[in-house]
Amino acid sequence: MPRRFLALLTLLFLPAYGQTKIPDKPAGAPSEIYRSVVRIESAMQVPDYSAPWNSGRFGGGIGTGFIIGKNKILTNAHVVSNTRRLLITVHGSPEKYPAKVDFIAHDCDLALLSVEDFSDFEEFPVFKIGGVPELESQVRVIGYPIGGERLSVTRGVVSRVDYSSYSHSRADQHLVIQIDAAINPGNSGGPVLQDGKVIGVAFQGRRDADNTGYIIPTPVINRFLTDIADGRYDHYVDLAVSTFPLYNPAMRKALQLPADGNGVLVRNVIPEGTCDGILKAGDLLVEIDGHPIDSAGQILIDGAKVEFSEIVERKFAGNKVQLRFRSDGAWHDQDVTLKPLTQNQMYAIQYEKQPRYLVFAGLVFQPLDTNLFATEKFDNYQVRRLYQDYLSEGIFLERQDIVVMTQLLNDTINSRLDEFQGMAVDKINGTPVTSLDQANELLNGEPEDGFHVIEFLGGKRPLVIPAAEVAAANERIQRTYEIDQLVNLQE
């Protein structure tokens, strides 16, 4: 065949490159739905917890989103977290559309976006939400992996339905679906399809395994969309209990449980949580909303075994859940009213918030949370214990904040005080410290003897600062270290 003829065939069948308008597709064409899968370009600014007075570092990333309604684009929260600018492009078009975040849920890694002008998208197909796929069924993943300019479509098989951690917040666990197709950077937020409907949102993969990806299933998606229907996101509710599996036959016999493989032992109940005053450590929990709980803490729902917490996952604040449990030898069937466990935010990575801090005579004080813990890598035993036990031991009842002295900005007023760096504050001028706001008030007051005395948990001696020298020291430190604001108490 002549080379000129081959070249002509190539030109005829290759798609045009660099088109400047969104291409029209005939109705019902298999690729028509691709127009509704968008590429999201995010410019972000990440707070600097090691120097909290700084504005933070800038960065960027690429993700995927898809249209689920009129000016409603669903994606992952981690694609648009800490964003300062969002631009959206459509498959086959170079035009960039400014967008904004309307709702974001870091606990389940979902966000809903809108564009400033939706008129160019009016005729695009809208994705419909489906159900939970069966094991071994085939799915299709659509997105822009590794920041590519062009759409990518891969196929995989559902290999597991599980209840697992969501890496975005580091503190939350929800239902996940595992597929044998890799989820790479850029795929995040893209639709996963089966029979033309969305059965999940691609959101994370594994670095230690090939061709393994995870998607957010439709029960989580539907809960998010239901939650925001009233114009705000209210977060998940929690039973606020921890349980222990009852596999051991000897333990079951000692607890006078039948050998039916059901029931878990209540290990701890969080103070002021949903079950406080209802359950207690040592109780036996055997059913939730009529679903038997097996000895591993799982129930059968939607044809799969998952953690019994999945029942609570699908409910909202104010909803009730029925528990069957044994306490002090008696069986109880009781409805409990669900509520959020806000104190759990200690263990969740925070986004869209500025670090709180206080600089006093070169001493830098910050409230302990996971952002700070990950930045400073504390090795002080007291700080690590307070962090670990903050929720389970009810430390939050006494201390709204765990105030830590994270740094020492050298000045003549604070020479030879570096031994206190990385320690948790116990008292200031004899008063127990319960929050950063209170610490600020105490340090800005006038001490009776002219000296500010700061005591630390586990400290061998107090830290003493002459009050009369603080104002001059603050001016020097602010100038030397170029700190615009010595105090920020607002997130």
The single-letter code of the amino acid at 326 is: R
Cβ within 8 Å of residue 365, ≥6 positions away: 357, 358, 359, 403, 404, 405, 406, 425, 436, 439
Q: Tokens for 457?
A: 């948990």
What 148-155 contacts at long range (C-beta under 8 Å, 24+ apart), as own/partner pairs, is 148/186, 149/39, 150/91, 151/34, 151/37, 151/91, 152/187, 154/181, 154/182, 155/181
Q: Which of 36, 42, 81, 188 is catalytic?
A: 188
Enclosing H/E stretch for 358? strand 357-360
Q: Which of 36, 42, 78, 172 is catalytic?
A: 78
Answer yes or no: are the C-beta atoms of 216 and 179 closer than 8 Å: no
Query: Residue 42 catalytic?
Result: no
Query: Residue 78 catalytic?
Result: yes
Q: Which of 147, 143, 203 is nearest to 179 (CA)?
A: 203
The Cα 99–Cα 211 span in angstroms is 32
Q: Which of 107, 109, 238, 294 is catalytic?
A: 109
The alpha carbon of 99 is separated from its chain's Cα centroid by a whole number of angstroms, namely 22
Question: Across the strands, what pairs with 244?
Answer: 265
Q: Which of 43, 178, 27, 25 is nearest to 90 (CA)?
A: 25
Which ranges of 287-435 does DSSP label H, i.e. alpha helix?
A: 310-313, 370-376, 381-389
CA angle 42, 43, 49 (to 5 degrees): 120
The Cα 246–Cα 257 span in angstroms is 10
End-to-end CA distance of the chain: 70
By three-state DSSP, how is residue 330 classified?
Answer: strand
116: exposed, middle or buried (Cβ count in 10 Å: 0-12, 13-18, 19+): exposed
The Cα 466–Cα 453 span in angstroms is 9
CA angle 12, 14, 18 (to 5 degrees): 115
Answer yes or no: are the C-beta atoms of 315 and 335 closer than 8 Å: no
Query: Residue 426 catalytic?
Result: no
Q: Give me the active site residues, please.
A: 78, 109, 188
